[in-house]
């Protein structure tokens, strides 16, 4: 009887293989994940920020700024053929970039051929405020993608028109002439009083 039960159990396992623990033989699920982090730094600062607020700094024409873009593989599989694109606003002129600059589309594009699990890559761009015609908040966008994953991040900053600082009173010239006249008159009176 034991042989019969064992034979039936063996036949059942062969006829109905779903009863066998199949996950111990299957391949693990592919898990692709990527992240991109974009930060900005005024050229005279030593720290990068997610955004530069109006209270921190307002940029004007010819000001320089650095951007740092970090791409990270946060998944469980190697990523291949990633394309990183930085979309810069019309007010910027790119001075230094890790990839191809397209002035018509205002983009910088470069590729990462492979990015291992847990690996990060850091890229730097330098830009100059070339115009202040669109004085307001400006947003710089960075994206990373391939056929399986994508991510995006932004960095915002503010610009304004360059102004000439006030140097004092509007009647500065008039006051200077009056003070010079008083000084010359005092010297003349002193010369008369001393006789030489």
- Tell me which DSSP letter residue 28 carries: P
More confident residue, 18 or 53: 53
Q: Which CATH class is domain 42-158?
A: mainly beta
Residue 13 has φ and ψ, to the nearest 5°, of -65, -35
* Beta-strand runs (E) in 23-99: 34-42, 64-73, 79-87, 92-96
CB 71 within 8 A of CB 34: yes
Is the per-residue pLDDT at 140 higher than 60? yes
Of the listed ranges 53-67, 79-93, 130-144, the least confidently predicted one is: 130-144
Question: How confident is the model at residue 172, as a pLDDT?
Answer: 67
Q: What tens digit of pLDDT does each residue of 79-90 get?
A: 999 999 999 998
Of the listed ranges 10-14, 22-26, 82-86, 178-182, the least confidently predicted one is: 22-26
Is the per-residue pLDDT at 23 higher than 50? no
More confident residue, 59 or 164: 59
Domain ranges of the chain: 42-158
More confident residue, 8 or 175: 175
Q: Provide the token pair at 183.
A: 């000084």
Question: How confident is the model at residue 121, as a pLDDT?
Answer: 98
Please name the residues in contact with 154: beta carbons below 8 A apart, sequence gap of 6 or more: 38, 51, 139, 140, 141, 142
Q: In the predicted model, what is the mean pLDDT of the chain?
A: 85
Q: What is the mean pLDDT of residues 128-152?
A: 90
Q: What is the mean pLDDT of residues 28-51?
A: 93
Q: Reduced to 3 DSSP states, what percent helix, strand and coil does the chain have, rounded to the nearest 5?
A: 20, 40, 40
């Amino acid at each position: 009887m034991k042989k019969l039960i064992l034979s039936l159990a063996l036949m059942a396992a062969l006829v109905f293989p779903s009863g066998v623990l199949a996950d111990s033989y299957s391949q693990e699920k592919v898990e692709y994940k990527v992240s991109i982090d974009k930060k900005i730094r005024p050229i005279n600062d030593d720290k990068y920020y997610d955004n530069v607020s109006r209270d921190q700094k307002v940029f004007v024409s010819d000001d320089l700024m650095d951007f740092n873009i970090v791409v990270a593989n946060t998944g469980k599989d190697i990523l291949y053929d990633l394309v990183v694109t930085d979309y810069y606003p019309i007010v910027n002129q790119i001075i230094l970039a890790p990839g191809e600059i397209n002035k018509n589309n205002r983009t910088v594009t470069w590729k990462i051929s492979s990015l291992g699990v847990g690996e990060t890559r850091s890229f730097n761009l330098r830009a100059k405020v070339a115009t202040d015609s669109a004085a307001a908040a400006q947003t710089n966008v960075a994206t990373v993608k391939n056929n399986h994953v994508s991510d995006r991040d932004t960095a915002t900053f503010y610009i304004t028109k360059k102004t000439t600082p006030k140097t004092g009173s509007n009647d500065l010239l008039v006051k200077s002439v009056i003070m010079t006249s008083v000084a010359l008159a005092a010297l003349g009176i002193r010369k008369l009083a001393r006789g030489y």
